[in-house]
Amino acid sequence: MQSNGTTDTRMNTADAFGRWLRAFAAGLEQDVDQLKDLLTDPVAPANVQILPYAGYRNDRELRVSGRVVEYRPPLAPADDVLDKLLAMWAIYNSREVGGITVRCEAHGIDATCISDEEGYFQFTLSVDRPLPGRTTWENVKLSAPGHDAQGELTVPILAPGSDDRWAIISDIDDTIMETGATNFAANWRRIVLEQPGDRLAVPGSADLYRTIARDHASPTRPFFYVSSSPWNLYGFLTQFMELNRIPHGPMFLKDLGIDAGKFIDAGHKTHKLEAIRSILRFYPQHRFLLMGDNGQQDVEIYTEVVREFPQRIGAVFIRDVTGECAAGANATHLAEMASLGVQTHCAASFADGVSILRSLRIDNPVEATRASGEGAAA
């Protein structure tokens, strides 16, 4: 039998090697970035562009973020294969600009922050502002003082309503948008060639989401999207949702950079769990519907969420992309969630999802609010 001392030594050695590998990769990425900066001209003030991401708030705090990049003229509509390849390359090959002062004006607050080396910036502002009765989009202003070619931007901020305590957390790939994430070749073809207008919505997803929201353009229930897609695809995904009339909402995507504390980025499961926990803690009075698929750990992730927040999850909707709803680990996880009092729905499409909504009384705003309150108090 192997001694605990030997096991601990091997684990410590593996951890040390992992730390060294992350530090090496981070240093290599930094060297490559510095070389690119040396070989390219500095970004002129007139070419600085803010790419804002939709924010959100509760009655105490407002969060909004974005990225500063070099402005590039939009490409012409992509028709042939080469044009589509160039269009997708432009999305992924953005030139980030660090060290830029970004200004945010929100509800009488005037704040600034500095974009980091990857161009990202984030505001977390203290507010004293009750949530509205009905879910609504408010606005803040973002600008880059001294880099005024773009002008001031109006950025939407989601303020969930207090009269209906239901909210939705949804995956994106193979949950609302067909990607073939479980099929390597199909997934990569879509990644490198297909534009937002080429992508197909998952059957039944748009109708179900509009039923939940009541109005895709101005949803009466808040939607949050958690995905392992990179932030470079934020505009792409926003356009896809608009084209398919899927309710808009703040997105929690991934940074594909490298630093000494993470190799490439947080893993798929870790990223999603942290994002979902953050949303649930930010809105303690809301109950949530979790929407996902069984292709990339959503069932496992949602089961862990239900274990931690059993009274906060009203139902779990899983799109079956593997044909294994009733078998293996997926079936075990679904059964565990059901045993904890959470309704589950797993099928090849969301076409039958409306019947689950009726059982939750979510189609009746008065009863939905009452049911939500009872669940939160339980």
- Three-state DSSP class for residue 227: strand
Cα angle 94, 98, 100 (rounded to 5 degrees) comes to: 115
Q: What is the DSSP letter of 317?
A: E
Between CA 21 and CA 13 the distance in angstroms is 12
Q: What is the pLDDT, as a whole number, of residue 42?
A: 60
Q: Which two tokens stand for residue 64?
A: 């909004």
Q: What is the pLDDT, as a whole number, of residue 186?
A: 59
- Three-state DSSP class for residue 206: helix
Between CA 315 and CA 338 the distance in angstroms is 9
Q: What is the dihedral of CA 369, 370, 375, 376, to 10 degrees?
A: 60
- Three-state DSSP class for residue 139: strand
Q: What is the DSSP letter of 232?
A: G
Between CA 168 and CA 225 the distance in angstroms is 8
Report the 10 Å Cβ neighbour count for 167: 26
Between CA 143 and CA 111 the distance in angstroms is 11
Q: What is the pLDDT, as a whole number, of residue 17?
A: 46
Walk along the chain (378 residues) and give the pLDDT tens digit of each residue. Answer: 445 555 445 435 544 444 443 444 334 444 444 544 544 556 665 689 999 999 999 999 999 999 999 977 665 666 666 776 776 677 777 889 999 999 999 999 999 999 999 999 999 999 999 999 999 999 999 999 988 778 899 999 999 999 888 999 999 999 999 887 555 555 556 666 567 777 888 988 998 998 888 765 667 899 999 999 999 999 999 999 999 999 999 999 998 765 444 444 458 799 999 999 999 999 999 999 999 999 889 999 999 999 999 999 999 999 998 888 878 898 999 999 999 999 999 988 887 777 777 777 775 543 343 344 444 443
Please, where are the H alpha helices in the chain?
A: 4-39, 81-92, 184-193, 205-213, 234-243, 268-282, 298-308, 328-339, 353-359, 365-377
Between CA 331 and CA 87 the distance in angstroms is 41
* Phi and psi based region of residue 263 (left: phi greater than 0; alpha: psi -120 to 50; beta: remaining): beta
Whole-structure pTM value: 0.81
Q: What is the pLDDT, as a whole number, of residue 20?
A: 44
Q: Residue 137 pairs with which residues in a beta bridge?
A: 158
Q: Which two tokens stand for residue 257?
A: 């950079």
Q: Residue 252 pairs with which residues in a beta bridge?
A: 226
Between CA 85 and CA 16 the distance in angstroms is 40
